[in-house]
Amino acid sequence: MKQIAISQLGQLLDAMAARQTLYLPVDQGKTAQFNRYESGMELSKQLNTSRSAKDLFFPQVEHLADFQVEGTSITVKPRQQQEEDFILFGVRACDAKSFEILDRVFLAEPQDTFYAARRSHATVVTLACGAPEETCFCTVFGIDPADPAGDVTAWLTGEKLCMRANTKKGEKLLAALPLLEDGGEQAVVAAQAAIHAVTDKLPLKTLDLTGFDGEHLMEKFNSPHWAQLSESCLGCGSCTFVCPTCQCYDIKDFNTGSEIQRLRCWDSCMYSDFTMMAHGTNRPTQLERFRQRFMHKLVYFPANNEGIYGCVGCGRCLKKCPISMNIVKVIKTLGEGER
């Protein structure tokens, strides 16, 4: 365990940024976003960023390749992948867990090389949650906000920032930061106890996921409740785009006039043109689209991934949905009295 006085946080961030590009949550108006660190920037005090940390590995738009057409020949020019190491600082426990879920999608064969390159070049420094909010339910998925994963775990303990390396990469990073001094174990234990005192009071901690598995797939799929749950859904993509585990994308070509750019961009199963292909018969109504999103997270994903849910309980969709329909309401409605 290493530690440093909070008053020296700026120097520590400068030291990290001097080694590698550093990304951290900073305040931007009312919300916080992961931004590239420049000296003088302050770490956001908000519990979570508006968009999740998945942006750093799976950005909203990924430039895959360019095509140049000359006469009858087409030259394909692949775009450069991540080649430099970078540090991702201040990731919360829920977002750190979401990386494991995204890994299962993008690192399975055939591997997504753009994602893999970003993952392999990143050192993730997580930060234990100071003050969980009522929308948090990560504990339901076995996540401990007081002890997040990542290459390095950090805690803000009043006057100190304490850091613990979890992996070789993490050890290497901490070893390269001479500002740090040994110690902090006691403070971390106290900080964890304080966080657990709050998580014990979280209103959503008793959420029951019993019955959300491959065994009950048809039962859940055919539930009569979907109609009522989806009736006020506006079909926007807010929930999808702020979600740390949503991983669907579309591939679009853009003609610049001199070449074709191939872009991979986030897509949302809530959109009417999601998975629209030549047959023209993708999911016809918002009911099917809405059902797909939650069936994917709560049933299909665990059925294919040893019971791991496609949700980490970060609570972003609870805060961002324009009409306050969210995964918690779905779990409660479909879970109760259905078994």
Partner 1 sequence: MQEQVRAKAKALLESGVCDRILAWKTGEFFYDVTPAVFTSVEEIDRDLVYNAFCGANLSKYLIAESRKGGKVGAFLKPCDTYSFQQLLKEHRIRRENTYIVGVACEGMADIETIRAAGIKGVTGGDFTGETLTFETLYGAKTMARAEALAERCKFCKSKKLVIFDELLGEQGEEQDVGRFDEVKRLEAMSDEERFAFWQQELSKCIRCNACRNVCPACSCEKCVFDNPNSGVENKAAASSFEEQLFHIIRAFHVAGRCTDCGECSRVCPQHIPLHLLNRKFIKDINEIYGPYQAGADADTRPPLLTYETGDPEPRRGDAG
Partner 2 sequence: MQVNGQFQPTIVAFCCNWCSYAGADLSGTNRLQYPANVKIIRIPCSCRLNPMFILRAFQRGADGVILCGCHPGDCHYTSGNYFARRRMTLLFNMLEFLGIERERTRVEWVSAAEGAKFAATMNDFVATITRLGENKRLEDLRCKSK
- Pick the closest to residue 207 from 330, 338, 304, 290 (CA basis): 330
Strand bridging mode 2-5 / 181-182: antiparallel
Q: Coil, strand or helix: which one is 331? A: helix
Contact, 56 vs 122, CB < 8 A? yes
Instruction: Rule CB under 8 A: choose which of 231, 259, 304, 336 binds partner 1.
Output: 231
Distance from C-alpha of 29 to C-alpha of 35, rounded to nearest angstrom: 13
- Pick the closest to residue 141 from 312, 317, 316, 333 (CA basis): 312
In the beta sheet, which residues pair with residue 73?
70
Q: Which tokens go with 31? A: 């919300």
Can residue 80 be called a binding residue for partner 2 (CB under 8 A)?
no
Instruction: Rule CB under 8 A: choose which of 257, 280, 284, 337 binds partner 2.
Output: 257
Q: Which tokens go with 291? A: 């059902």
Q: Which residue type sits at 128?
A: A
Q: Smallest distance, Å, CB 78 to partner 2?
A: 17
Can residue 140 be called a binding residue for partner 1 (CB under 8 A)?
no
Q: Coil, strand or helix: which one is 65? A: strand
Can residue 318 be called a binding residue for partner 1 (CB under 8 A)?
yes
The binder of 132, among partner 2, partner 1, none, by C-beta within 5 to 8 A per type, is partner 1
From the CB of residue 206, how many other CB atoms can be counted at a distance below 10 Å? 9
Total residues at the site for partner 1 (CB under 8 A)? 56
Can residue 276 be called a binding residue for partner 1 (CB under 8 A)?
yes
Q: Smallest distance, Å, CB 156 to partner 2?
A: 39
**Residue range at the interface with partner 2 (CB under 8 A); choices 18-26, 202-210, 214-222, 258-266:** 258-266
The CB-based long-range contact list for 247-252 (8 Å cut-off, 24+ gap) reads 247/54, 247/58, 247/102, 247/105, 247/106, 248/274, 249/58, 250/274, 251/64
Residues 76-135 within binding reach of partner 1 (CB under 8 A): 131-134
Q: Which tokens go with 255? A: 């003609």
Residue 40 or 257 having the CB closest to partner 2: 257
Q: Smallest distance, Å, CB 245 to partner 1?
A: 16
Q: Smallest distance, Å, CB 264 to partner 2?
A: 15
For the four alpha carbons of 218, 219, 225 and 229, in that order, the dihedral sign comes to: negative
Residue 110 or 257 having the CB closest to partner 2: 257
Q: Smallest distance, Å, CB 221 to partner 1?
A: 22
Can residue 258 be called a binding residue for partner 2 (CB under 8 A)?
yes
The binder of 241, among partner 1, partner 2, none, by C-beta within 5 to 8 A per type, is partner 1
The binder of 266, among partner 1, partner 2, none, by C-beta within 5 to 8 A per type, is partner 1
Can residue 61 be called a binding residue for partner 1 (CB under 8 A)?
yes
Q: Coil, strand or helix: which one is 127? A: strand
Binding mask 259-288 for partner 2 (x = CB under 8 A): x-x---------------------------
Q: Which tokens go with 213? A: 């598995």
In the beta sheet, which residues pair with residue 65?
78, 262
Can residue 263 be called a binding residue for partner 1 (CB under 8 A)?
yes
Distance from C-alpha of 116 to C-alpha of 97, rounded to nearest angstrom: 17
**Residue range at the interface with partner 2 (CB under 8 A); choices 80-88, 255-263, 288-296, 317-325:** 255-263
The binder of 307, among partner 2, partner 1, none, by C-beta within 5 to 8 A per type, is none
Contact, 138 vs 312, CB < 8 A? yes
Which residues bind to partner 1, rule: CB under 8 A?
28-31, 33, 47, 50-51, 60-61, 63, 131-134, 198, 201-204, 228, 231-232, 234-238, 240-242, 250, 252, 254, 261, 263-268, 271-273, 276, 318-320, 322-326, 328-329, 332
Which residues bind to partner 2, rule: CB under 8 A?
254, 256-259, 261
